[in-house]
Structure formats: C-alpha cells, structure tokens
Structure 1
C-alpha cells in the first residue's frame, strides 16, 4: 500500500478529497470541513446510511468555543483534562459549523486526537477534519496500517502512515452530550464514566 506525505494529504484534503490517516484510537477516514460540502463522501466510501453524525477532529482547546455555541463550563473542564485524547464532546453547533455537518438537533461532536500525525494534518489544512473509521460500515475498524483493507484504501486513494506506527488502542472515544443541564454519556469508551464524574 503506497502512502502519502502529510503535505500531499493536506493538498488533497484542501481540494475536498477524503484521506485515510492515523488517530490515537484507529485509522480514520476524513475530509476537511472547509473544502468538502458535507460528509456525503464519507457515507459513500463507508457504504453507510446518511444521517448518522460525523464528529470533527480539531487542533486545540480554542476550537471548542469556536465551533460550539453556549458551551458549558464543564465541557471546557473536560476538554482541558482529557484533550488531546479519546473524548468527543457534543455541543450546540455555532454558525461556523456548516449545516451539512450538524446533527438533526443542531449539534456537533468535537475531539482533539492524541496523535501527532492527525494533529499535523489538521494544522496543515487549517480546519477540522470530519472523521470516521477507515472501513466499510459493519467491518472492524483498522488498528494499524496493515489492517486497512487495500481495496478500501484504493477507493480512497490517499493513505498517510503513522511516524510511530503500531496498533492503535482500538477503543473508541467516549462520546459525551454536553447540550443539556447534565452531561449524558452517549457512548462509553476509553474515558470512563467514573473519570467524568470525578470532574462533575
């Protein structure tokens, strides 16, 4: 499987193309939110029904308030504690989030990954990456470059390898809905409910 440099991948992302790249949890499939009109290319590649929200990978803590609206202080505390890391915070989307990327409820999931390659891509592109796992829906998410399906990679066209490659954790990020008075765990992953309760 031929791999691309970060510069090559960033150039493709800026043209609205999808790219496979490493995160701290699995290998991901992403598009640059400023260049892609929406997440449709991800749904098509993954052969997944449209409508399921696609979380964004962001480059820093400031992005929580940039892309979130009326962000509760607890969400900021959680981001300061667990970012970069496997915690996705669902917040009300600000006007800077294109409608095509918002959920039906007008929310967006944001996460800062603990992976140097993913963060370098976000920063090289200059905007968040809407990201899902790099696999067809229903197939196990790849924890290493070798586990990425070559046929899937060929359809995408661009793959970035990790400088420090090895198996990713394989444990999905915890998804926490911070749009209500009290946060609600949508999916428990690497960050446990006990971790979250310790701060709330």
Structure 2
C-alpha cells in the first residue's frame, strides 16, 4: 500500500467520509471519532442502532488522557502489555469524545490495533478513528477486503486492502470503568493474560456484582450471524441431524470440526486457527444456497471461549 493511498484515506477522513481499514481482528468501517457527522455516516451505512457504541482506534503515541477522563493503573498496565493488539479497554469518557461515538454513555471503548496498514493510517491521521466492523449490522464480520466490498459495494469510497486478518475474531473487551476489570467480550487476550498483568482475575460480566455494565460492541444476543438459519450441534449428534434434515428435503451446509462432513467445510481443531477462519467459512456457506447450516459445536473449555461466544450469537434467533 503506497503513501499516496494513505494520504487519500486521511483526506477522506478529514472530509468527514468513511474508510474501510484492516486490523488484526476484523476489517473496520472508520470515521473521524471527533466528528459526530462523520460518525453518523457509519451508523447509516451499517444500519446500526444509535445507542450501540463504537470502538475508537488510536495511534500508539496517543495519550489516553486525551480520550478518557480517568485512567486507572490497571488500564495503563494492560495497554503497555497488549497494545498494539486485540484488546479494547472501556474507560470513563473524556468530555471531548462525542456522545455519538459512545452511544450516549459516559464511557468510551479504546484500542490500538496491531496491523501495519491500520497503524500507518492512524499515525498519518494523528487522531482517533471510530471503527466498528465493516459489515451490515448483525451480519458476519469481514476478514478480507472482498468481504467489505460484498457488504457495501461502492457505498464505501475507499477500502484499504491489508490481506486476510491475522486473528479473525473481534478484540477482547475489558471494562475498567467500574473498578475491578470485567470481561464483557472474550477474545484472543484471555483472562489468564489479564490476571498476569493486573494481578486481579477479571470477572465475566454475568458474575460481576457491580453497577450495570456499559453497553459495548458485539454483545447483542444475535450477532455475527449468517442470513441462512443456523444451529449448533454436538459432534455425536451431527450425522443424525444431517440425515433428518436431508430426509425432510432440506439442503444443508455443514461447518465441521477437524474433518469434512456432508456438504460443507471443516475448520481446524485448534482455537486460534478456527477463529481465524470462522467468518470466512460462514460467509462461504451463507452464499451456498442452503436451507440450513449445521455447525459442529467446539469444546467448551477456556481456550474456545471466544469462538463459542461468537457461535452462540451467530445461531441465536431474534425471538
């Protein structure tokens, strides 16, 4: 990617336009985080509810005090250990951060992405870029530039192509706005990593006995979802469920674990590799013209926590 393309992206951002950019997690749909009108373009393009907050991506040199009103020691330690990287910190909002970015809340979500193209853009822009995933709201997150084009066509004036995303699942979100760390969304940075750095084991939100959690990206019951109806099935039950649906006349796509089964795909029996390939596999199956998708349920241990979180939301119904 040439400097001229980065300059073009910066010019678009400064003009209040949106730009799609790669990160190590998923592709983001970015706009100037300090420009409410530009932020509104993100919501309009995605069809995203206005009360659903965005994550602000920062250059590594940014001062947290410019974006957060209170920066506890644990936040500084986590930023030093994992930024650039797939970790988002929720802190009390600085007054300069528009409420449009935070969904009207008094907290702000911040991270520094670990992708050379994203970092080059952020350094050239020299400010924060609000960037949710570059997909229609609730749909499967994009992990390639082609996925972004599939979602938006020419509605996004510039898509920076940084290749496939290295992590492939959204960042871990840790809330530090209410005292002790609470994991709102699991990701590649796990609870053991957070404990090692802060000295405190983070609580999962459902176990936290604190004030109500701030709203955060990607926490709706149904999210990251294919348009084809999908369900999670235990491996032992998968052949029987597949046979029953086929007997009913349904055309079924399968996302299996470790080995192919039926008409579909398989992902490795390894949490990082599975997470890296998950969204691309779901998109491919979603284009397959199937009546239903069956997803073999991965193990339930901590190593698979982020994958299982995404899969549960992907198969949830709107009821």
Is the shorter-chain TM-score for this pair beyond 0.5, marking a shared fold? Answer: yes
Q: What residue in structure 2 maps to residue 178 of structure 1?
A: 176
Secondary structure in 2 matching 1:182: coil
Summarize deviations over 1:158-180 as a string: whole Å, max 9, x none. Answer: 11112xx2343211100011011
Is 1:110 the counterpart of 2:106? The answer is: no
TM-score norm. by structure 2 comes to: 0.58
Query: What corresponds to 1:129 in structure 2?
Result: 129
SS in 1 for 2:183: strand
State the partner residue of 1:69.
69
What is residue 90 of structure 2 aligned with on the other side?
90
Kindly indicate whether the alpha-carbon contact (under 8 Å) linking 1:38 and 1:101 is maintained by their aligned counterparts in 2: no
TM-score under structure 1 length normalisation: 0.90
- Find the aligned partners of 1:105 and 1:56 in 2 and give their Cα distance: 14
Offset, 1:62: 4.1
Deviation at 1:190, TM superposition (A): 1.0
Cα separation, 1, equivalents of 2:101 and 2:164 = 31
Gaps of 5+ in 2: 199-319
Residue 189 in 1 paired to residue 167 in 2? no
Kindly state the Cα deviation for residue 130 of structure 1 after the two structures are TM-superposed. 0.3
CA-to-aligned-CA distance 1:88-124 (integer Å, 9 cap, x gap): 0000011221233234330100000001111111121
Alignment partner, residue 119 of structure 1: 119
CA distance in 2, matches of 1:100, 1:139: 22
Residue of structure 2 equivalent to 1:158: 158
> Per the alignment, in what secondary structure is the counterpart of residue 130 of structure 2?
strand
Report what 1:19 is aligned to: 19
> Which structure has more helix as a fraction of its residues?
2
Q: Give the structure with higher Rg (CA).
A: 2
2: CA distance between counterparts of 1:76 and 1:5?
Answer: 33
CA distance in structure 2 between the partners assigned to 1:110 and 1:61 by the alignment = 13
Report the RMSD for the aligned CA atoms in angstroms.
1.7
Taking a change above 3 Å as real, the CA distance of residues 175 and 61 of structure 1, as seen in their structure-2 partners, is farther
Number of residues paired by the alignment?
195
Cα distance, 1:182–1:29 mapped onto 2, change above 3 Å: same
My pick for the range that moved more, 128-137 or 56-65, is: 56-65
Shift in CA distance, 172/114, structure 1 to aligned 2, threshold 3 Å: same
